Structure 1
Amino acid sequence: MTETTSESAFPNAQRLLWAGFMAILAAGVGFSLRGGVLGLWAVEFGFTMTELGAITGGGLTGFGIVIILSSLIADKVGYGRLMMLAFILHAVSALITLAAPAAFEAGGKAGAYNCLFWGMFIFAVANGLAEAVVNPLTATLFPKNKTHYLNILHAGWPAGLVIGGLASAFMAAQKNEAGDVIQQAVDWKIQMSLFLIPVIIYGGMLFGQKFPQSEAASAGTTLGEMIGTVFAPLMLFLLVIHAMVGYVELGTDSWIAKITGSIMESGAKGMALFVYTSTLMFALRFVAGPIVHRISPLGLLFVSSILGFIGLTLLSSAQGAVICVVAATVYACGKTFLWPTMLAVASERFPKGGAVAIGMLGGVGMLSAGLLGGPAIGFKQDYYASQELEAKDAQTFKRYQADNESRFMNFKTVGLDGAKVGVLSDNGKELARVNTLLEEEGKTDENQTMLTNWWKSASTHAEADKPLVESAGLYGGRMALKLTSYVPLVMAACYLALIIGFKATGGYKAVHLDEQPELPNEPEALGTGES
C-alpha cells in the first residue's frame, strides 16, 4: 500500500482516499456482475443484444448526468451529504433490480425491462454522486501528485471488476464436455446483491469523517468562475476526447467478456480473461506516478491510445485463446490510464474548476458510454450478426429473428432473439427443465409456452442452425470491436496535437492555486449534520 499521509495536509487523507476507493470498487463490482448475468437476462426475458445494450447504457447514462449535476452543488451541499444519499440509492437500486422477475410475470418482457433499466439507472445515480465527491476530494487531498493518486483511487474500478468477475465465474452454470449442465447457475438475484457488501464498507469508513472543500472553493473561487473554466477552448477539447474515452473503455467493457467468450468458444474463458485484464489494470494504476514523471500525462495518454487501437484491432481478428489473451493484454494496458489521467489533466490545468471541471469531464465520459458506447456496440452486434445470418440462410434467420426492430439513433435493424438463441445453445435443455418445474408447481407461463411452441418447430432444424447462428454472433462481435478500434486511433491524434501545442509554448505544466491547501474553518462530517 502506498503511503499517503506525508503528501497531504489532511490528517484523515488516507482513510478518505481508501473510502473513495471502496465506493468506486462498489461500482465496479456491480458493473462486472451485471456483465456476468446479461446472458441470463437474455434467456429469461428474451432480450436482444440492443435491448441489453440499452439496459447497460441506462447504468451509465444516469452516472454521467448525476456527476455533472452534483458537481455543480458538491461544495455547497457538502461531500458528506452527497455520500449519504449515494449510500441510500445504492440500496434502492438493488430492490428495483431484484423485482424484475415479478414484473416479468405481471407485465411480460416490458415489465422486466423497465425494472432492470431503472434499477441500473438508480445504481448509476448512486455511483455518480459518489464519483462527483471522490474525484475532487482526492485532487484536494494530494494537490502536488494528482495523476498518481487519482490512478490509485480509480484502481478501485478494476478491483471491483475482478471481484465481480470471480463471483460470476464461481456462480455460473457448470457444464460437462457433452454440454450438459451439471450444476445450475446461482440465481442472478443473489449475484447482483453482492455489490452491497462494498457499499456497506464505504459507508462505515466515511461515517463521521471530516471532508475538506475543493481547492477552488478553499481559494474562494465562485461557482460562476468554476463553470467558466468549462468553456475554455482547451477544456472543451478535453471534453470531446473524454467522450471518446468513455465510449471505448466503458462501452467496450459492457460487452468484452461476451465477445471474447465467443471467440474462445467458452463463456467461462471470456469471463476469466476479463478478470485477468482487470487484475492487470488494478496493478498498473499504482505505478502511474513514476510513468508520468518520465513521459508526462499527455505522453501517457498518447501511448495508451495507440495500445488501445492495436489491442482492439487484434481482438477483432483473433483466432484461438492464445492470440485472444495477447490482444486483450495489449488492450488492457492501453485503457488502464485513460480515465484517471484525463481527470488529472483537467484538474492540473484548470484548478479553478474545482469539482465542476472534474465532474463535467467524468459526466461527459459516462454519458458517452451510456448513450453511445453500450447501445452502439450492442447495435453493431445485432446488425452484423443478422446480416451475416440472413445472407447465409434466410430461413434460419427467420427462425431466430427478434419480433421487434433494434434501433440506434437513426439506424435500425432486426437482431436475433436472445431467448431463442439461448434455447438453441443448449438444445432446449434449460427450456425443458423450466417446463418440468412449472408442471410440478401447477403453474403456466405465457412467455414460456410461446417459446416452447416455437422450439417444437425450430428443434427439427437445430443441428443445421446452431453453427450458423453461433458463427453469425461471433461475426457481429468481431465487427463491433473492429469499428470501435478506430475511436482510440482518433484519440491518439488528439493527444499528439496537444503534445505539440504545449511543446510550442514551453511544455505541459500543472497549474497550482496555492502552494499549500488550507484546512476549511468548518469541515463537514458524514452523519453529523455539519456543513
Structure 2
Amino acid sequence: MRLLWAGFMAILAAGVGFAIRGGIFDNWGKEYGFTASQLGAIGGAGFSGFCFGIIIGGVIVDKIGYGKLVAVALLCHILSAFVTFGASTPENAYNFLFWGMFIFAYANGTLEAVANPLVATLFPENRTHYLNILHASWPAGMVLGSVAGWVLDDNLQIGWKTQLALYLVPTALYAIMFMGQKFPKSEAAAKGASFVEMLKPVGILGALVACYLLALFFGDISKAFAPDNAATIGYAIGGVLLIAVGLITRFSLGSFLLFVLFVTHALVGAVELGTDGWIQNITGNLFTSEQGKYLFMWTSAIMFGLRFCAHWIESTLKLSPIGLLVVCAVIACIGLNLASTMETFTMALVALGVYAIGKTFFWPTMLAVIGDRFPQTGAVAMSIMGGIGMLSAGLIGGPGLGYCKDRFAGEELKKADAAIYQEYQAAKPSTFLNIPATAAHGLDGKKLGEAKDAKEKTPAQKTVVSADQRGDRATLKADSFIPATMAAIYLILLLFFKSIGGYKVIKIDEAAA
C-alpha cells in the first residue's frame, strides 16, 4: 500500500505542474507575445517528453529495477525547474520554456514507467480499480495546482516562476515515500521472460503507431536547424526505429488487438490531456479567469472522486472494462458538444461536469486492459501505450486545439470585420502537423491580450474579443469528434470480445497457449 501511495504522490507532482502551467499560459502569452500555436507547442513538450520517459523506462525497468528509475525522475524534476526558470526575454523564452517542460515531462514519464506496472503487479485481481485509484492523483494534483494558481496569480499576483516551483513539494514527498522500499517484479519478469519476448506482441503494428508519432516529434524539433528538410528527417528517424523493432522481434507482426488499443489510446491522449491543457484557458476566455479556474477545479474534483469508484461502477452496472469505456466515450462526446454552446456559468458547470464524467476512466482503464490481456509484455506494452497517449497529447491534442483556436478565431474575426482582422492577425500562420495546406492566421497574442484586459474596450476590441470567444466554442465542437470516434472503436471491441466468449483476465501461460 505504501508503494501504491508513493506512486500516487509521484503522479500528483505531475498534476500540480500541469495545472499551474495551464493557468499561466496567458502570462506567457502577454509577457513574451506567443501565439496560441506557440503556447500549444510549449504545452505539447510537456507531453512529448513524457513519451521518451515512459517508453525508455518501460523498456529497461524490469532489468535495472524500479528504484534507479525513481532516482532518475527525481533528478530530472529538479533540473526542469532550473531550465524553465531561465526564460527571461521574448528572444530566449520559447526555448527555455519548451525544454524545461520537456524535461519535466520526461521525469513524469519515467515515474509512470514505474508506477503503472508496479500497481498492475501488486493488484493482479483488480487492476482497473487500483490503477484508477493510482491515477486519481492526476486530477487531485490539478485541483491543488489550480487552487495555488488562483491564490498566487489572481489574488496575490505572485510571479509565474514562484507558482510553477510548487510542484517541487510533492516531488520531495514521493522521493521520501519510495525511499527504502522493496519493489516486486512484473509477472513476465518473474517468469524470466526476455525483452524480445515482451516486445513481440507489440511487433511491427504496435511500433508503427509509436514510430509515426516519434517521426512527427523529431520532424518538429528539426525545424530549428533544418526547416526545409524537417519532415524528411523526422520520418527517417521514425523509419529507422521501426526497422530496429522489426530486427529485434524478428519482424513479428504483433497483436492486431494491441495495435487497435494503441491507436485508440492516441485518441485518448489527444482528447483528455490535450483538452485539459487548454480548457482552463478557453473557459477563462469565455467567462472570467477566476471562473475558468473554478471550472477546472470542478472537473478535476469530479475525476478525483469517481476514480475511486471504478470497481463499484463496473460491478453495479455489470460492465467489463471495454463496456465502461464505451459508455465514457459517449458521455464525453455529449459533454464537449454541450460545452461548445455554454453561455452562462451554470451551463458551464453542467456541460463540463458531463465531460468530466466521460473522460474520468479512459486512461487508467486502458492501462488495465493491457495488463489484463497482455501480461506477457511485462511493463513494455503498458509503457509504450502510455507514451503514445502522452506523445499524441503533445503533438496532436495540445497543438491541434491551439491551431483550431487560431484558425477559428481568425475566421470569425475576418467574417466580422476584415479591416480589424488585418490589424490583429498574427505575423506567422499556424499549421497543423506541419501541413502547408492547413496554414491559417490566428490573432496576435499581445494585441489580443491588450483587448481582453482593456477596462473600457473600443468597438474594435469588443469585436476581437467576441470573435475569439466564438473561435473557442468552435474548437470545443471540433474536439467532440474525437470521443465520438473512440466510442465507435470501443463498440467494435465490445462486439469482438462477445464473439470470443467475453472479456476476461488471462495469465501468462494462457497467453502463451
TM-score, normalised relative to structure 1: 0.84
**CA–CA separation in structure 1 for the residues paired with 2:422 and 2:163:** 34
Q: 1:514: how far off?
A: 7.6
- Equivalenced residue count is 454
Whether the aligned pair in 1 keeps the contact of 2:451 and 2:465 (CA below 8 Å) is: no
Q: 1:335 aligns with which of 359, 363, 371?
A: 359
Asked if 1:253 is matched to 2:240, the reply is no
How far has the Cα of 1:173 moved from its partner?
A: 2.8
Alignment match of 1:138 (pick from 96, 112, 119) = 119
* Aligned mate of 2:427, from 403, 408, 432: 403
Within 2, Cα distance between the matches of 1:89 and 1:482?
37
Q: Is residue 2:481 matched to residue 1:486?
A: yes
Cα distance in 2 between the residues matched to 1:511 and 1:241: 21
Quote the residue 2:179 is aligned against.
207
Question: Where does residue 15 of structure 1 map in the other structure?
Answer: 2
> Which letter does structure 1 place at the counterpart of 2:306?
L
Query: How far apart in 1 are the matches of 2:323 and 2:329?
Result: 10
Amino acid in the other structure paired with 2:374: F
Q: From 468, 492, 495, give the equivalent of 1:497.
A: 492
Q: Where does the alignment leave 5 or more consecutive residues of structure 2 unmatched? A: 203-253
Look up the match of 1:381: 405
Question: Does 2:265 align with 1:284?
Answer: no
Of 373, 388, 404 in structure 2, the residue corresponding to residue 349 of structure 1 is: 373
Q: Which moved more, 1:403-412 or 1:232-241?
A: 403-412
Question: Of 136, 150, 156, which aligns to 1:169?
Answer: 150
**Equivalent-residue separation in structure 1 for 2:280 and 2:267 (angstroms):** 21
Aligned letter for 2:273?
L
- Which structure would you say has the larger Rg? 1
Match of 2:444 among 417, 423, 437: 417
Aligned pair partner of 1:268 in 266, 290, 312: 290
Report the alpha carbon displacement of residue 494 of structure 1 after superposing the two structures with TM. Answer: 0.8
Contact 2:83 2:96 in 1 (8 A): yes
Please tell me the residue identity of whatever aligns with 1:167: A
Distance 1:386 1:493 in 2: 32
Does 2:55 match 1:68?
A: yes
Q: Deviations over 1:391-445 (max 9, x none)?
A: 2112222222222222222121221111121122223x8xxxxxxxxxxxxxxxx
**Distance (whole Å) between structure 2 residues aligned to residue 419 and residue 139 of structure 1:** 47
SS state at 1:317 partner: coil
Give 1:130's aligned amino acid.
Answer: L
What CA distance in whole angstroms lies between the structure 2 residues aligned with 1:77 and 1:465? 61
Contact 2:54 2:113 in 1 (8 A): yes
Match of 1:319 in 2: 343
Q: Greater CA deviation, 397-406 or 201-210?
A: 397-406
Corresponding residue SS for 1:92: helix
Distance in 1 (CA, whole Å) between partners of 2:475 and 2:120 is 36
Partner of 1:119: 100
The equivalent residue for 1:180 is none
Cα distance in 1, alignment partners of residues 467 and 24 from structure 2: 22
Amino acid aligned to 1:376: G
Q: Distance in 1 between matches of 2:294 and 2:191?
A: 47
Q: Distance in 2 between matches of 1:417 and 1:202?
A: 41
The CA distance in 1 between the partners of 2:100 and 2:471, in whole Å, is 28
Residue 505 of structure 2: SS of its match in structure 1?
Answer: coil
**In the aligned structure 1, how far is the partner of 2:92 from the partner of 2:189?**
45
Q: Which residue of 2 aligns with 1:100?
A: 87
For 2:355 and 2:443, locate their aligned partners in 1 and report how far apart those are by CA, in whole Å: 28
Cα distance between partner residues in 1 of 2:111 and 2:439: 36
How many angstroms apart in 2 are the aligned matches of 1:327 and 1:261? Answer: 15
Report % sequence identity.
51
Q: Is residue 53 from structure 1 mapped to residue 48 from structure 2 by the alignment?
A: no
Task: State the SS of the aligned residue for 1:143.
Answer: coil
Match of 2:234 in 1: none
Maintained 8 Å contact 2:431/2:439: yes
**Aligned twin of 1:237:** 260
The CA deviation at 1:83 is: 0.6
Which whole-Å CA distance do the structure 2 matches of 1:226 and 1:478 have between them? Answer: 44
Instruction: Quote how far apart the aligned CAs of 1:512 are.
Output: 2.1
Q: For the residues of structure 1 that align with 2:381 and 2:452, how far apart are their CA atoms? A: 48
Q: Distance in 2 between matches of 1:189 and 1:59?
A: 16
Q: Secondary structure at the match of 2:458?
A: helix
2:327 aligned partner? 303
TM-score for the superposition, normalised by structure 2 = 0.87
Higher deviation after alignment, 25-34 or 411-420: 411-420
1:145 deviates by 0.8
